Amino acid sequence: MHIELQGERLLLCAERALFWPARRTLLIADAHFGKAASFRARGVPVPEATTLANLATLDALLARHAAQRIVFLGDFLHSREARAPQTLAALSAWRARHAGLELLLVEGNHDMQAGAPPADLDIRMVPEPLIDGPFALCHMPAPVAGRYVLAGHLHPAYRLAGRNEAVRLACFWFGAAVGVLPAFGDFTGARVIQPAPGDRIYVVADDRILAVPERRAA
Protein backbone atom coordinates (compact mmCIF):
# COMPACT_ATOMS: atom_id res chain seq x y z
CA MET A 1 0.00 0.00 0.00
CA HIS A 2 1.31 3.44 -0.96
CA ILE A 3 1.01 6.32 1.49
CA GLU A 4 2.10 9.95 1.44
CA LEU A 5 4.20 11.15 4.37
CA GLN A 6 6.06 14.45 4.63
CA GLY A 7 5.66 14.93 0.88
CA GLU A 8 7.25 11.56 0.13
CA ARG A 9 5.60 8.51 -1.42
CA LEU A 10 6.26 5.40 0.65
CA LEU A 11 5.30 1.77 0.09
CA LEU A 12 4.20 -0.34 3.05
CA CYS A 13 5.11 -3.97 2.38
CA ALA A 14 3.28 -6.98 3.77
CA GLU A 15 6.70 -8.45 4.58
CA ARG A 16 6.77 -5.88 7.41
CA ALA A 17 9.15 -3.51 5.64
CA LEU A 18 8.91 -0.02 4.16
CA PHE A 19 10.22 0.93 0.70
CA TRP A 20 11.11 4.55 -0.11
CA PRO A 21 11.17 4.70 -3.93
CA ALA A 22 12.79 8.15 -4.22
CA ARG A 23 15.82 6.86 -2.30
CA ARG A 24 15.55 3.26 -3.55
CA THR A 25 15.80 2.33 0.10
CA LEU A 26 14.28 -0.44 2.21
CA LEU A 27 13.71 0.29 5.87
CA ILE A 28 13.81 -2.76 8.12
CA ALA A 29 13.12 -2.55 11.86
CA ASP A 30 14.00 -5.14 14.47
CA ALA A 31 15.28 -8.06 12.42
CA HIS A 32 16.72 -9.70 15.57
CA PHE A 33 18.77 -12.14 13.52
CA GLY A 34 19.87 -15.09 15.63
CA LYS A 35 17.19 -14.71 18.29
CA ALA A 36 16.13 -18.35 17.99
CA ALA A 37 19.80 -19.42 18.22
CA SER A 38 20.14 -17.27 21.35
CA PHE A 39 17.20 -19.04 22.96
CA ARG A 40 18.51 -22.47 22.02
CA ALA A 41 21.91 -21.56 23.51
CA ARG A 42 20.07 -20.95 26.78
CA GLY A 43 18.32 -24.32 26.62
CA VAL A 44 14.94 -23.07 25.37
CA PRO A 45 13.51 -25.28 22.56
CA VAL A 46 12.40 -22.92 19.78
CA PRO A 47 11.99 -23.21 15.98
CA GLU A 48 15.07 -23.42 13.75
CA ALA A 49 15.83 -21.78 10.38
CA THR A 50 14.16 -18.46 11.25
CA THR A 51 17.23 -16.56 9.99
CA LEU A 52 17.07 -18.35 6.63
CA ALA A 53 13.36 -17.57 6.33
CA ASN A 54 13.92 -13.89 7.08
CA LEU A 55 16.78 -13.66 4.60
CA ALA A 56 14.61 -15.29 1.92
CA THR A 57 12.02 -12.60 2.59
CA LEU A 58 14.71 -9.94 2.16
CA ASP A 59 15.73 -11.55 -1.14
CA ALA A 60 12.13 -11.33 -2.37
CA LEU A 61 11.84 -7.67 -1.33
CA LEU A 62 15.06 -6.75 -3.11
CA ALA A 63 14.03 -8.57 -6.27
CA ARG A 64 10.65 -6.85 -6.31
CA HIS A 65 11.75 -3.30 -5.60
CA ALA A 66 15.33 -3.11 -6.95
CA ALA A 67 16.48 -1.36 -3.79
CA GLN A 68 20.04 -0.05 -3.69
CA ARG A 69 20.19 0.46 0.06
CA ILE A 70 18.84 -1.10 3.25
CA VAL A 71 18.66 0.88 6.47
CA PHE A 72 18.16 -1.37 9.47
CA LEU A 73 16.37 0.60 12.20
CA GLY A 74 18.16 -1.08 15.07
CA ASP A 75 18.39 -4.56 16.60
CA PHE A 76 20.11 -6.34 13.72
CA LEU A 77 21.50 -9.15 15.90
CA HIS A 78 19.52 -10.20 18.95
CA SER A 79 22.40 -10.84 21.38
CA ARG A 80 25.97 -12.07 21.63
CA GLU A 81 24.64 -15.63 21.57
CA ALA A 82 23.10 -14.81 18.19
CA ARG A 83 26.59 -15.12 16.71
CA ALA A 84 26.12 -18.86 16.32
CA PRO A 85 28.12 -20.31 13.41
CA GLN A 86 25.02 -21.23 11.41
CA THR A 87 23.54 -17.74 11.82
CA LEU A 88 26.73 -15.98 10.77
CA ALA A 89 27.20 -18.35 7.84
CA ALA A 90 23.69 -17.62 6.59
CA LEU A 91 24.24 -13.86 6.89
CA SER A 92 27.60 -14.08 5.09
CA ALA A 93 26.11 -16.09 2.23
CA TRP A 94 23.26 -13.60 1.91
CA ARG A 95 25.72 -10.68 1.86
CA ALA A 96 27.76 -12.37 -0.87
CA ARG A 97 24.63 -12.51 -3.03
CA HIS A 98 24.12 -8.76 -2.56
CA ALA A 99 27.69 -7.46 -2.49
CA GLY A 100 26.79 -4.17 -4.20
CA LEU A 101 24.03 -3.28 -1.76
CA GLU A 102 24.64 -0.45 0.70
CA LEU A 103 23.78 -1.50 4.25
CA LEU A 104 23.39 0.84 7.22
CA LEU A 105 22.47 0.00 10.79
CA VAL A 106 21.05 2.62 13.14
CA GLU A 107 22.27 1.40 16.51
CA GLY A 108 19.55 -0.05 18.74
CA ASN A 109 19.52 -1.32 22.29
CA HIS A 110 20.15 -4.94 21.27
CA ASP A 111 23.03 -3.85 19.03
CA MET A 112 24.74 -2.35 22.08
CA GLN A 113 24.58 -5.78 23.73
CA ALA A 114 25.34 -7.88 20.64
CA GLY A 115 28.14 -5.69 19.34
CA ALA A 116 28.78 -4.54 15.80
CA PRO A 117 27.94 -6.96 12.97
CA PRO A 118 30.89 -8.99 11.64
CA ALA A 119 33.15 -7.00 9.35
CA ASP A 120 32.53 -9.28 6.35
CA LEU A 121 28.89 -8.13 6.28
CA ASP A 122 30.10 -4.61 5.39
CA ILE A 123 27.37 -2.85 7.38
CA ARG A 124 27.98 0.77 8.35
CA MET A 125 26.81 1.35 11.92
CA VAL A 126 25.55 4.86 12.71
CA PRO A 127 24.07 6.50 15.81
CA GLU A 128 20.52 7.77 15.82
CA PRO A 129 19.11 9.93 14.41
CA LEU A 130 20.20 9.33 10.83
CA ILE A 131 18.84 12.38 8.99
CA ASP A 132 17.68 11.64 5.45
CA GLY A 133 15.46 14.18 3.67
CA PRO A 134 12.40 14.97 5.78
CA PHE A 135 12.96 11.95 8.01
CA ALA A 136 14.99 11.06 11.07
CA LEU A 137 15.71 7.34 10.91
CA CYS A 138 15.93 5.97 14.45
CA HIS A 139 15.55 2.90 16.58
CA MET A 140 13.81 4.56 19.50
CA PRO A 141 10.44 6.16 18.61
CA ALA A 142 11.04 9.58 20.14
CA PRO A 143 10.46 12.97 18.43
CA VAL A 144 13.34 14.75 16.68
CA ALA A 145 13.02 18.50 16.13
CA GLY A 146 12.44 19.45 12.50
CA ARG A 147 12.07 15.91 11.17
CA TYR A 148 9.48 13.16 11.06
CA VAL A 149 10.82 10.08 12.84
CA LEU A 150 10.68 6.58 11.36
CA ALA A 151 11.64 4.05 14.02
CA GLY A 152 11.23 0.56 15.41
CA HIS A 153 11.77 -0.92 18.89
CA LEU A 154 8.11 -1.30 19.90
CA HIS A 155 7.16 -4.25 17.65
CA PRO A 156 3.67 -2.71 17.31
CA ALA A 157 0.48 -4.73 16.85
CA TYR A 158 -3.15 -3.66 16.63
CA ARG A 159 -6.07 -5.55 18.16
CA LEU A 160 -9.00 -5.92 15.79
CA ALA A 161 -12.11 -7.00 17.69
CA GLY A 162 -15.34 -8.42 16.32
CA ARG A 163 -18.52 -9.33 18.13
CA ASN A 164 -17.25 -12.69 19.40
CA GLU A 165 -13.51 -12.77 18.77
CA ALA A 166 -10.41 -10.65 18.32
CA VAL A 167 -7.12 -10.91 16.45
CA ARG A 168 -3.80 -9.20 17.01
CA LEU A 169 -1.93 -8.14 13.85
CA ALA A 170 1.46 -6.53 13.35
CA CYS A 171 1.05 -2.96 12.15
CA PHE A 172 2.60 0.24 10.88
CA TRP A 173 1.74 3.12 13.25
CA PHE A 174 2.03 6.74 12.10
CA GLY A 175 1.46 9.42 14.70
CA ALA A 176 1.82 13.19 14.43
CA ALA A 177 5.62 13.25 14.69
CA VAL A 178 6.73 9.60 14.88
CA GLY A 179 6.05 6.52 12.76
CA VAL A 180 6.82 3.01 14.01
CA LEU A 181 7.45 0.04 11.73
CA PRO A 182 6.49 -3.53 12.67
CA ALA A 183 9.26 -5.91 13.63
CA PHE A 184 10.68 -7.62 10.55
CA GLY A 185 11.91 -10.74 12.34
CA ASP A 186 9.57 -13.73 12.45
CA PHE A 187 10.48 -14.71 15.99
CA THR A 188 10.18 -11.36 17.74
CA GLY A 189 6.76 -11.04 19.38
CA ALA A 190 4.60 -7.89 19.35
CA ARG A 191 2.85 -5.55 21.74
CA VAL A 192 -0.61 -4.08 21.29
CA ILE A 193 -0.51 -0.30 20.88
CA GLN A 194 -2.96 2.38 22.03
CA PRO A 195 -3.07 4.91 19.17
CA ALA A 196 -4.17 8.49 19.71
CA PRO A 197 -7.02 10.06 17.74
CA GLY A 198 -5.78 10.98 14.26
CA ASP A 199 -3.02 8.36 14.18
CA ARG A 200 -2.87 6.23 11.04
CA ILE A 201 -2.71 2.45 11.50
CA TYR A 202 -2.05 -0.10 8.76
CA VAL A 203 -2.21 -3.76 9.73
CA VAL A 204 -0.41 -6.66 8.06
CA ALA A 205 -2.93 -9.34 7.13
CA ASP A 206 -1.11 -12.21 5.44
CA ASP A 207 0.01 -10.76 2.09
CA ARG A 208 -2.03 -7.55 2.34
CA ILE A 209 -1.84 -4.20 4.08
CA LEU A 210 -5.17 -2.91 5.42
CA ALA A 211 -5.88 0.59 6.68
CA VAL A 212 -7.68 0.81 10.04
CA PRO A 213 -10.35 3.54 10.15
CA GLU A 214 -9.04 6.56 12.04
CA ARG A 215 -10.20 7.14 15.57
CA ARG A 216 -11.87 10.48 16.19
CA ALA A 217 -11.41 12.59 19.28
CA ALA A 218 -14.39 12.40 21.65
Tens digit of pLDDT for each residue in 91-139? 999 999 999 999 999 998 877 787 888 899 999 999 999 999 999 999 9
Residue 217 in domain: no
Q: Chain-centre distance of CA 61, in angstroms?
A: 13
> Average of pLDDT values for 16-25?
97
- pLDDT at residue 5 tops 50: yes
CATH code of residue 193: 3.60.21
**Structural domain boundaries enclosing 18:** 2-212
Mean pLDDT of 64-86: 85
Find the range with the poorest average confidence among 78-92, 174-188, 192-206: 78-92
Q: Quick check: 187 pLDDT over 80?
A: no
pLDDT at 86: 85
Opening angle at CA 157, ends 65 and 132, nearest 5:
45
Q: Where are the alpha helices (DSSP H) in the chain?
A: 35-41, 50-65, 85-97, 109-114
Burial class (CB within 10 angstroms; exposed 0-12, middle 13-18, buried 19+) of 11:
middle
pLDDT given for residue 34 in this prediction: 78
CA angle 205, 152, 199 (to 5 degrees): 65
The mean pLDDT value for 9-21 works out to 97
In a domain, 78, yes or no: yes
Instruction: Indicate the burial class of 5 (C-beta count within 10 angstroms; 0-12, 13-18, 19 or more).
Output: middle
Give me the number of domains the chain comprises. 1
Confidence of residue 41 (pLDDT cuts 50, 70, 90): low
Report pLDDT for 215.
Answer: 67
State residue 16's pLDDT score.
Answer: 96
Banded model confidence at residue 213, pLDDT cuts 50, 70, 90: confident
Is residue 218 one of the residues assigned to a domain? no
Predicted confidence at residue 218, as pLDDT, reads 46
Is position 188 within any domain? yes
Q: pLDDT-based confidence at 17, cuts 50/70/90? A: very high
Determine, yes or no, domain membership for 50.
yes
pLDDT of amino acid 40: 46
* Secondary-structure breakdown of the chain: helix, strand, coil percentages, each rounded to the nearest 5: 25, 35, 40
| Torsion, Cα of 212, 214, 215, 218 (10° steps) | -160
Hey, is 176 helix, strand or coil? coil
Give the torsion through C-alpha atoms of 82, 83, 89, 92, to 10 deg.
100
Answer yes or no: is 12 within a domain: yes
Whether residue 46 is contained in a domain is answered as yes
Question: Quick check: is 98 in a domain?
Answer: yes
